[in-house]
Amino acid sequence: MEEKTTGDFVLTRFLLDIAIDIVIVVVMVLVIRSYLFAPFRVHGPSMCDTFNVYNDECYNGDGEFILVSRLATWDLFDWAPSDLERGDVIVFQAPYSEPGEYYIKRVIGLAGDTIKIENGYVYLKDVNGAFVLLSEPYLNEENLGHTYPYRSSSETYEVPEGEYFALGDNRTKSSDARRCFQQLGCTDQSSPYLTMDLIQGEVELVMFPFSHFRFIYDTDYAL
C-alpha cells in the first residue's frame, strides 16, 4: 500500500510540474506577444517592392511572415522605450473594420507635420514654412512620382498631436491614408490619421520564407 501511495504521489507531482511548465510557457508567450514582439503575415501588394515580392513580381496573396516590435506602443507614464519615426513600417488595426483586420504601411507624417500630396509627389513643410520634396528611396520606378490624392489633384494633411499619417509603398495599389484606409474613400466620419492605440508596432524583420529573411533597418527618410 505504501509503494502504491508513493507511486501515485510521484505521478501527481510529475503531472503537476508539467502543468506548471505549460502555464509558465503560455504566460511568457502572451507577455512577449503583448508587450515585446508579435508575428504577422503580409497580405497583398500594397507594400511592394519592400514586402511580398516573389521571383521579381509583386505577390497578391498571403506572403511573407514578419516580426513586429511593440516597444514604441508602450505607455509608461507617457514614456516608451522607442518612438516611431518617419520612414518606419508599421502594422496597425484598420480604423474602420472588424477587430483583427490589420494593415501594413509606412509612416510618412508625424504629429505636427504638414504633408502635401501634389503632382504625384509627397511634400513636407519645413521649419521655414516651405514645402520640400520628401525623399522616398523605398519607392520603385512604377510608384515614384505616382502618389496621387483620392478624387483630387492636390491634398494637404495636418497631422494632429499624438497621431500618424501612413502610406503604402505601392502607391498605385494601396488603400492608405489618402482613402482613410477604406475602399470607398474618406467620409465625414472617417480620418486619414492613425492613433497610437491602433498601432501594433514597428516591423523589424522578415522571418519566413527563409530565403527572404532580412532585417528592416531604420533609415532617416527626412528631407
Catalytic residue positions, numbered: 46, 105
Task: Tell me which long-range contacts 118-123 makes (C-beta under 8 A, separation of at least 24).
Answer: 118/153, 118/154, 118/155, 119/154, 120/145, 120/146, 120/147, 120/148, 121/145, 121/147, 122/147, 122/167
How many C-beta atoms lie closer than 10 Å to residue 37's C-beta? 15
- Extract the runs of DSSP E, i.e. beta strands, from the chain: 37-43, 53-54, 57-58, 62-69, 89-93, 102-109, 114-118, 121-125, 131-133, 154-158, 163-167, 193-195, 199-208, 214-215
Is residue 52 within 8 Å of 42, Cβ to Cβ?
A: yes
Q: ∠190-178-49 over CA atoms, to 5°?
A: 135
Is residue 107 within 8 Å of 90, Cβ to Cβ?
A: yes
